[in-house]
């Protein structure tokens, strides 16, 4: 009985070592083809697991959890498949998919991430590390690109989300659940349950596990049981790995001939403990105990730095790589765009005012000491009736209502701005806010004197214009109000636009910020040196 346990533990340790060596060889091969991925390929340590997962690999951004039996089985199928599995997982981290929690429809977002990285991987490999399903993937990607418009995360997510939300038995633009299941099977290669963005939910991204990964555990064990012997004879096995496996095999035979006593049993058990751990002991998430929130934040920052470093390297040597990395660089540019907190940004336009408020931070020490002397333990405090505060009073919100700007987006931006103004104590109730609509000429100036009137005014708000775009009329109009004393406390102007217009030649004597909604399909236009550029996500409005 003890010999059987020893053999099982020894076998498991060998399988874990072999699976780890296979992945190390994948790293080396990817490094030889894509030198700019060096930091990303070795960023995570390998951790063999026995979790019974449906996929060979999983990651939380910190470690790679590998199912040894499935990795070996995939290697038996094709070494290229394991390489593509590993590249797929690393691209998720480079694009920071595991840390993106902005999308509520997790199935749609998970599938979107898989579609994007597989599309990028196919472009990068360009015939290298080919997969037997690549032809079917190309057909599916052509259909997705045709329906979504561009192979960009936001557009693909919108398509997939609408398909997921379509009631059962119905179709969205001729596509239904059967098409989604087909895409799941084609594009998924790793498990997403351990992604930090998934939180504590056990939300799987697929309803039906792809058939090629859905064998029961017994069949997987039978397939992997003969894998070591088969791999020793495989022509694609690297020589260094072959020698290591032969050494393991011969060492196992020597130990078996010695009778396998207690020392051998202890050694085998120790090796098994070092190379694997029990899924039951770790809970539902096999990697959940390896990180706390601070470590996850550190990992997210490190992946951000890696993404930026890769983008810089590719930008420097873009001619060397040609069109193979175009989609990769496009997705890198999207994920590396700097994001801003719009509510924090508005605080830049505060001015100092004196409010009729109790100021507990300042009081007269004469009364304080007099109370102590007179009553022993009762200080007298006379708080000041005035307090200096930073508030926004005079403010201008300019809206580009040209034909290229969506009317619904304009309304959402104005409403979002006022929601921030009303909810924060940093904004005064009595205000002098001008909401100016303009295309190539001034269309309307809506003045707000009391923040309590905003809701009533927004009900009557209508977008006017839809002509060309010229920013100069707004700046001339605002400068006229400043000269006439109507905007004496004004610190700045926020201009919501798509940027396709004529800017003033001379800088104004107040701060001006141009706010753009992030558009994956194009670069945000440049602004003059004297202006502030702010990019916000549409879903935050």
The string of pLDDT tens digits covering residues 102-148 is: 888 999 999 999 999 999 999 998 778 999 999 999 999 999 999 99
| pLDDT tens figures, 366-381 | 666 766 777 777 766 6
Tell me which long-range contacts 326-331 makes (C-beta under 8 A, separation of at least 24).
326/123, 327/119, 327/120, 327/123, 327/151, 328/91, 328/120, 328/123, 328/124, 330/152, 331/95, 331/116, 331/120, 331/153
Q: Which of 85-99, 104-118, 199-213 has the lowest mean pLDDT?
A: 199-213
Of 47, 62, 22, residue with least CA distance to 276? 47
Q: Rounded CA gap, 71 and 85, in Å?
A: 10
| pLDDT tens figures, 434-490 | 999 988 889 889 888 887 778 887 888 888 877 788 999 999 999 999 999 888 878
Same domain, 316 and 346: no
Residue 365 lies in a domain: no
Mean pLDDT over 151-162 rounds to: 91
Same domain, 506 and 477: yes
Residue 181 lies in a domain: yes
Residue 221: half-sphere exposure toward Cβ, Cα within 13 Å: 8
Residue 145 lies in a domain: yes
Is pLDDT at 254 greater than 90 in this prediction? no
- CATH number, domain of 523, equals 3.40.50.410
Residue 6, H or E segment: helix 2-33
Q: Which residue has the higher pLDDT, 529 or 343?
A: 529
With a CB cutoff of 8 Å and minimum separation 6, the contacts of 365 are: none
Highest-confidence segment of 1-15, 57-71, 419-433: 57-71
Same domain, 432 and 300: no
Same domain, 27 and 64: yes
Q: Which of 74-83, 147-156, 170-179, 490-499 has the lowest mean pLDDT?
A: 490-499
Q: Which residue has the higher pLDDT, 345 or 269?
A: 345
Is pLDDT at 277 greater than 50 in this prediction? no
For residue 230, the tally of other CB atoms under 10 A from its CB is 14
Q: Rounded CA gap, 247 and 333, in Å?
A: 47
Same domain, 262 and 170: yes
- Structural contact between residues 205 and 110, judged by C-beta atoms closer than 8 angstroms: yes
Is pLDDT at 258 greater than 60 in this prediction? no
Q: Which of 255-269, 406-420, 424-438, 468-482 has the lowest mean pLDDT?
A: 255-269
Backbone angles phi, psi at 233, to 5 degrees: -100, 0
Mean pLDDT over 80-97 rounds to: 96
Token duo for residue 321: 């790589």
Mean pLDDT over 344-372 rounds to: 59
Which domain, by its residues, includes 224? 2-335
Domain boundary among 309, 335, 361: 335
Q: Which residue has the higher pLDDT, 248 or 296?
A: 296
Q: What is the pTM of this model?
A: 0.69
Same domain, 153 and 216: yes
Q: What's the pLDDT score for residue 113?
A: 96
Q: Rounded CA gap, 208 and 215, in Å?
A: 13
Token duo for residue 114: 């898989």
DSSP one-letter string for 131-173: -TTHHHHHHHHHHHHHHHSSS-HHHHHHHHHHHHHSPTT--BT
Residue 249 in 3-state DSSP?
helix
Mean pLDDT over 51-55 rounds to: 83
Q: What's the pLDDT score for residue 461?
A: 82
Q: What's the pLDDT score for residue 268?
A: 44
Same domain, 461 and 315: no
Q: What's the pLDDT score for residue 384?
A: 52
Q: What is the mean pLDDT of the chain?
A: 78
Mean pLDDT over 279-305 rounds to: 67
Same domain, 327 and 434: no
Residue 375 lies in a domain: no
Same domain, 327 and 347: no
With a CB cutoff of 8 Å and minimum separation 6, the contacts of 270 are: none
Strands 351-363 and 383-400: antiparallel
Q: Which residue has the higher pLDDT, 74 or 403?
A: 74
H-helix segments, 258-378: 262-275, 279-282, 293-316, 318-321, 326-335, 342-346, 365-375
Residue 362 lies in a domain: no
Residue 219 lies in a domain: yes
Mean pLDDT over 233-252 rounds to: 53
Is pLDDT at 387 greater than 80 in this prediction? no
Q: Rounded CA gap, 272 and 145, in Å?
A: 47
In the chain, the percentage of residues whose pLDDT exceeds 70 is 72
For the chain, report the end-to-end CA distance as a whole number of angstroms: 66
For residue 244, the tally of other CB atoms under 10 A from its CB is 15
Token duo for residue 86: 């590993």
Q: Count Cβ neighbours within 10 Å for each residue of 319-356 and write b for 16 or more, e otherwise.
A: eebeeebebbbbbbebbeeeeeebbebbeebbbeeeee
Residue 387 lies in a domain: no
Mean pLDDT over 150-164 rounds to: 91
Same domain, 250 and 346: no
Same domain, 420 and 311: no
Highest-confidence segment of 1-5, 16-20, 233-237, 294-298: 16-20
Strands (E), 375-426: 383-400
Q: Rounded CA gap, 332 and 37, in Å?
A: 13
Same domain, 155 and 104: yes
Residue pointed to by tokens 């775009």: 469
If one counts the domains in the chain, the total is 2
Residue 374 lies in a domain: no
């Amino acid at each position: 009985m003890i010999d059987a346990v020893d053999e099982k533990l020894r076998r498991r340790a060998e399988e874990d070592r072999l699976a780890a060596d296979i992945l190390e060889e994948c790293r080396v091969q990817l490094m030889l083809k894509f030198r700019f991925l060096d930091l990303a390929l070795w960023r995570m340590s390998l951790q063999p697991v026995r979790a019974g997962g449906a996929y060979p690999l999983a990651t939380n951004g910190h470690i790679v959890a590998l199912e040894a039996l499935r990795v070996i089985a995939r290697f038996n199928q094709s070494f290229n498949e394991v390489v593509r599995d590993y590249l797929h997982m690393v691209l998720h981290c480079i694009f920071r998919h595991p840390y993106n929690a902005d999308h509520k429809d997790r199935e749609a977002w998970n599938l979107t991430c898989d579609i994007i990285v597989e599309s990028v991987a196919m472009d990068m490999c360009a015939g290298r590390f080919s997969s037997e399903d690549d032809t079917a993937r190309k057909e599916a990607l052509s259909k997705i690109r045709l329906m979504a418009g561009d192979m960009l995360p936001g557009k693909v997510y919108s398509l997939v989300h609408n398909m997921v939300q379509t009631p059962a038995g119905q179709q969205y633009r001729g596509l239904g659940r059967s098409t989604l299941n087909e895409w799941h099977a084609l594009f998924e290669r790793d498990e997403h349950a351990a992604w930090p963005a998934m939180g504590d939910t056990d939300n799987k991204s697929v309803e039906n596990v792809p058939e090629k990964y859905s064998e029961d555990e017994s069949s997987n064990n039978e397939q992997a049981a003969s894998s070591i012997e088969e791999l020793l004879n495989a022509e694609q096995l690297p020589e260094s790995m072959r020698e290591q496996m032969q050494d393991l095999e011969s060492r196992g035979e020597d130990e078996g001939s010695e009778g396998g006593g207690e020392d051998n049993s202890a050694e085998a058990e120790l090796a098994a403990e070092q190379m694997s751990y029990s899924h039951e002991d770790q809970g539902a998430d096999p990697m959940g105990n390896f990180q706390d929130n601070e470590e996850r934040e550190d990992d997210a920052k490190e992946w951000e730095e890696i993404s930026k470093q890769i983008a810089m390297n590719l930008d420097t040597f873009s001619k060397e790589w040609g069109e193979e990395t175009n989609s990769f660089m496009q997705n890198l540019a999207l994920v590396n765009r700097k994001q801003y907190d719009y509510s924090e940004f508005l605080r830049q336009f505060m001015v100092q005012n004196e409010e009729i408020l109790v100021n507990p931070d300042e009081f007269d020490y004469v009364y304080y000491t007099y109370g102590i002397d007179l009553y022993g333990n009762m200080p007298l405090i006379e708080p000041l009736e005035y307090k200096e505060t930073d508030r926004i009073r005079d403010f201008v919100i300019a809206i580009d209502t040209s034909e290229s700007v969506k009317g619904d987006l304009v309304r959402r931006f104005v409403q979002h701005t006022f929601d921030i103004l009303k909810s924060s104590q940093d904004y005064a109730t009595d205000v002098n806010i001008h909401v100016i609509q303009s295309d190539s000429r001034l269309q309307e100036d809506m003045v707000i004197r009391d923040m309590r009137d905003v809701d009533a005014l927004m009900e009557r708000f209508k977008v006017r214009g839809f002509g060309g775009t010229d920013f100069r009329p707004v700046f001339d109009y605002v400068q006229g109000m400043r000269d006439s004393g109507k905007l004496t406390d004004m610190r700045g102007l926020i201009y919501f636009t798509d940027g396709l217009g004529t800017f003033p030649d001379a800088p104004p004597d107040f701060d001006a910020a141009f706010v753009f909604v992030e558009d994956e399909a194009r670069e945000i236009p440049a602004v003059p040196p004297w202006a502030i550029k702010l990019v916000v996500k549409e879903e935050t409005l």
